[in-house]
Amino acid sequence: MTPRNVLKISFLVIVLLLCFLYVSAGAFQIEVSPHEISPGDAFIVKVTDIKTVRLPAISLGKNRFYFAKCGEGCFLAIGAVGIKTKPGDYILKLRIGKKTKNLKLFIKHTDFPAMRLTLSEDKVSLSPEDKRRVKRENKRLKAIFRRVSRRLWEGDFLLPLENDLSTVFGTKRIINNKKISVHSGVDIRGQEGEEVLASNNGKVVFAKELFLEGNTVILDHGLGIYTIYMHLSGFNVNSGNSVSKGDAIGFVGSSGRSSGPHLHFGVKVRDINVNPVSFVELEL
Ligand SMILES: [Zn+2]
């Protein structure tokens, strides 16, 4: 073989190698599941076989969701849409390094139940002082839910109490013929004093009494994901504690504005109220 031919073959090998590297770098797999959801549901975006070490980024409109590592070359993000999202096709924007990809997400039309109640005015309206307290408390909660800390959750989230639901997510509460609120979580039946379990590993960022919600625990699971436990009769944790999935964090009660012992369980993803049932069904 002439030196000229050796040079030619070497050049060809290098070109082929570069082509192979280029193709394999772009051959990552993407999965959105479920890709058809209801308003208020959570979803997962999983990217596998990525050769890059940099975290991908995903957004839906103005909302950004955060990826966590799920193994070698595997990244996973939990996203959600608000309950007021209109049905139709939506585009998730995925960025991996310098590449962007549009992913489809379909929001289906969903009818949420309505609950009509007739109550005396003193049970519906708040005094100016109580109104100020509620406003103050809501502002404080909002500041908590905006924070994005490091990931603590591991694997699937669980329901904190294994009983039937008494009020589902999204129920419209119509009191004295006026639409008062939309149920931001689920109500789970329970006996006074029954143990309430941590839905996943996390940090206690709130364990105090609130005017409407009663004794409330909030767990920060990292990456903008929080779970909320309301109307407790008592606490088993303090703010600042670390908890593991399944730890007893408090006890079922009827504190705050509540008509009897039950657990109100809520989930927040990037400050969006998420249907806890759709959330615990995610395969993480
Ligand atoms: Zn509730």
Same domain, 168 and 55: no
pLDDT number for residue 233: 98
Which pLDDT tens digit goes with each residue over 35-87? 999 999 999 999 998 887 788 999 999 999 999 999 888 999 999 999 999 99
Same domain, 102 and 118: no
Last residue of a domain, one of 85, 107, 129: 107
Q: How many CB atoms sit inside 10 A of residue 67's CB?
A: 22
Last residue of a domain, one of 107, 132, 149: 107
Q: What CATH number should be reported for the domain holding residue 84?
A: 2.60.40.1590
**CA distance linking residue 22 with residue 48, whole number of Å:** 17
Q: What CATH number should be reported for the domain holding residue 155?
A: 2.70.70.10
Last residue of a domain, one of 84, 107, 130: 107
Which pLDDT tens digit goes with each residue over 187-236? 999 999 999 999 999 999 999 999 999 999 999 999 999 999 999 999 99
Distance between Cα 33 and ligand 1 center (Å): 27
Which pLDDT tens digit goes with each residue over 238-279? 999 999 999 999 999 999 999 899 999 999 999 999 999 999
Same domain, 99 and 129: no
Name the DSSP class of 133. Answer: H
Domain that holds residue 141: 114-280
Q: In whole angstroms, how far apart are CA 274 and each of 27, 48, 121?
A: 32, 26, 30
Asked whether the beta carbons of 264 and 231 are under 8 A apart, the reply is yes
**CA distance linking residue 157 with residue 216, whole number of Å:** 19
Distance between Cα 166 and ligand 1 center (Å): 9
Distance between Cα 184 and ligand 1 center (Å): 7
Same domain, 31 and 158: no
Decide if pLDDT at 18 tops 60. no
Same domain, 102 and 235: no
pLDDT number for residue 23: 41
Same domain, 101 and 220: no
Which pLDDT tens digit goes with each residue over 148-174? 999 999 999 999 999 999 999 999 989
Same domain, 79 and 133: no
Q: Ramachandran region of residue 270, left (φ > 0), alpha (ψ -120 to 50) or beta?
A: left
Same domain, 72 and 203: no
Q: How confident is the model at residue 1 (pLDDT cuts 50, 70, 90)?
A: low
Distance between Cα 165 and ligand 1 center (Å): 10
Which pLDDT tens digit goes with each residue over 75-112? 999 999 999 999 999 999 999 988 899 999 999 999 99
Same domain, 262 and 143: yes
Distance between Cα 132 and ligand 1 center (Å): 22
Distance between Cα 97 and ligand 1 center (Å): 42
